Amino acid sequence: MHPYMIDSAGMVGAAQFIASPNYDERPLQNNDQPANICLIVIHNISLPPGEYGGNGIIELFTNQLNPADHPYYAGIYTHTVSAHFLIRRDGKLIQFVSCLKRAWHAGASSWQGRPRCNDFSIGIELEGSDFEAFTAAQYCTLKPLLAGLSSGYPILDIVGHSAIAPVRKTDPGPYFDWSQVDTI
């Protein structure tokens, strides 16, 4: 099996797994089957803002963020959020939630008139911000991850968080190079 392929448990072999408690079951459709995973949402995140390489993102996604560690954390440490994947600046891939489960990454959102994007999407966080380019190593990890997800699920679109929550969100931001992503 290719290291970026999705296994039957919704896991990627190339990823380090760090379990987040911030997920639940995907809702069932009329046929009592989970909602089809058909959307990939690209985000950016850095904690503290604009700083890279620390444990802030992992601590946020695992409910271990200490509000005393940085002034910014005081406003977010109680948030229960996650994503399926995080791609660090050096290209390292971390998985927090099985793709079969609903990670809490999109919030209030809508795609093509369909609300609650967490129900049917995969969330990928890139360590970065709206204010600088992402690294070549991140794109080198993102491309095979997207290919693995697209071969495992009926993906119809890859969008930024800003496309599904335009009033609230701007990520992945103007420095994300969409030409690096094969469109579906």
Name the residue among 95, 106, 119 with its Cα closest to residue 24: 119
Structure tokens at 58: 């992992």
- Active site (annotated) includes residue 51: no
Q: Determine what percent of the chain falls in helix, strand and coil, rounding each to the nearest 5.
A: 20, 20, 60
Ranges of H-type helices in 14-72: 56-61
- Check 59, 125, 127, 132 and give the catalytic one: 125
**How far, in Å, CA of 35 to CA of 63, rounded?**
27
Residue 162's identity, in one-letter code, is S
**How far, in Å, CA of 121 to CA of 89, rounded?**
23
Strand partners, 39: 121, 157
Structure tokens at 74: 């005081």
Q: Which positions are annotated as active-site residues? A: 125
